Amino acid sequence: MLKEKLKLRWAILCSGTSTDQKSNNISLFGITDQLNIKREFFNSLPENKKGYKIVPIKFELVTLWDKGSIENEIKFIAEVSFNDSNNKEVSKMTKELIIPSGMLRNRFVVNINALGIQKEGDYSFNIKALDPKSKGLTETYSTPLTVTLKD
């Protein structure tokens, strides 16, 4: 049932957002698909148990979900994983989201304070919606992030 209704229309990685309280319009700042890190700084960062350097950086991943109708509330579990260039999961978070009745679409923002980076390459934020009743996958989406190390 959820699979036929819920759609992830877009997901954008940016450095910040601002929502106008009167109009509910959102402004996205510093939209990015590439992260340049100074090699010297990168080499000085601590590693976690998995061998990834913990890069302190603030990003927001903004998503727009559409449920296809203003009728009925939809509850689902959003799963966002950050994957390295070998498609290996670096980190993951899940959160139950709700689009209430009377609303067709809703935006959700994921705040990111650090990323696990092992080397240069093409990383991605993979987004899934799971039906909380069946735990079945209903929607997937991927937003890229290219990481380069600069001298």
The model's pLDDT over 105-124, given as tens digits with 9 standing for 90+, comes to 999 999 999 999 999 999 99
CA atoms of 147 and 27, how far apart (whole Å): 25
pLDDT digits (tens, 9 = 90+) for 31-68: 999 999 999 999 999 999 999 999 999 999 999 999 98
Cβ contact 70:102 at 8 Å: yes
Rounded Cα–Cα distance for residues 20 and 43 (Å): 40
With beta carbons less than 8 A apart as the criterion, state whether 66 and 105 touch.
Answer: yes
Strand pairing partners for 67? none
What torsion, rounded to 10 degrees, do the Cα atoms 148, 78, 14, 19 define? -170
Q: What is the reported pLDDT for 22? A: 86
Report the distance separating Cα 109 and Cα 47, nearest Å.
27
Q: pLDDT at position 82, please?
A: 96
The amino acid sitting at 52 is Y
Per-residue pLDDT at 29 exceeds 90:
yes
What pTM did the predictor assign?
A: 0.88
**pLDDT attached to residue 137:** 67
